[in-house]
Amino acid sequence: MKTARAAWRRLEPVHAMIYFVPEARRRYAALGLNARAGYFTSRSAAFGRASAELVISTFYNFSPHLVRQAIDGAWDTTTPQDVLDARYAAAGEALRRAGIHDVPALNEVLTLTHRAAESACEHAQGRPLFAAHAALPWPEEPVLRLWHAQTLLREFRGDGHVACLLSEGVGGVEALILHAATGEAPVDFLRASRAWPEEEWTGAQERLRERGLLDGGSLSPEGALLRRHIEDRTDRLALPAYAALGDADCERLAELARPFGRAVVDAGLLNLG
């Protein structure tokens, strides 16, 4: 389980950079979409003309008001296919800027991640965001095939994570607060990007304190245990993808993935600005 998590985590920047790079913002703007509309439409375009309600339910931890505001009128401006085309073009442009196409192990990493992603496709039930992306055609270019494979693995894991949160009675805003309380992510970024109103944020904090999960602004011992349980359960639910590799190939992927993630970071593709 730890090896599978390492393989996913080290390669995850290859997918995650699409939410930060200027290449994506420029291409969405050319379609008449601002940055927020570009994010929500591009990640949900695999559904087709996704409603705000569908995005709220599958993205989980964003303020419903923010989602409705971003989605409102977006599909009158452009089409899901145009947004998908823009997203893939931006991903390829940004990853080439980071030199991913020149990393020596590209073909081997692509082979391993493709196998894992294809295995995940055999376990799509109950994973709507993953299933929608899994139905998209595989790109031809190796860099884009790698990005697509890691996108599938990310959404496969993400849908499982949402299921874990639901099973533990942790709503979207509560999940953000518990995440912030770990110190692993800047609370100001989480609050600004998810846009929950102040009264809903403070109300959720109080509910978490009443459950004994928060101690001031930090996790209580009970809160830390719950967070660990959710992360461990998420790891277990992600295993069907990586089990297809076997222990040796999963370890090999974890070993080879590091320079790919490092190339993305070193190129500044994850900079919030």
Domain contains 271:
no
The answer to whether residue 155 is domain-embedded is yes
Q: Is residue 273 part of a domain?
A: no
228 in any annotated domain: yes
Q: Residue 133: what pLDDT? A: 98
- Measured CA to CA in angstroms, residue 219 lies from 4, 28, 163, 197, 226 at distances of 26, 38, 21, 22, 10
Q: What is the model's pLDDT at position 189?
A: 87
Residue 164 lies in a domain: yes
Task: Flag whether 272 is in a domain.
Answer: no
Residue 200 lies in a domain: yes
Count of structural domains, the chain: 1
| pLDDT of 117 | 97
In-domain check, residue 221: yes
Of the candidates 23, 139, 87, 94, the residue with the CA atom closest to the CA atom of residue 263: 94
Q: How many CB atoms lie within 10 A of CB 104?
A: 9
pLDDT in tens, the chain (273 residues): 788 999 999 999 999 999 999 999 999 999 999 999 999 999 999 999 999 999 999 999 999 999 999 999 999 999 999 999 999 999 999 999 999 999 999 999 999 999 999 999 999 999 999 999 999 999 999 999 999 999 999 999 999 999 999 999 999 999 999 999 998 888 888 888 899 999 999 999 999 999 999 998 899 999 999 999 999 999 999 999 999 999 999 999 999 999 999 999 999 999 875
Can you point out the beta strands (E) in the chain?
214-215, 218-219
Structural domain including 194 reads 2-266
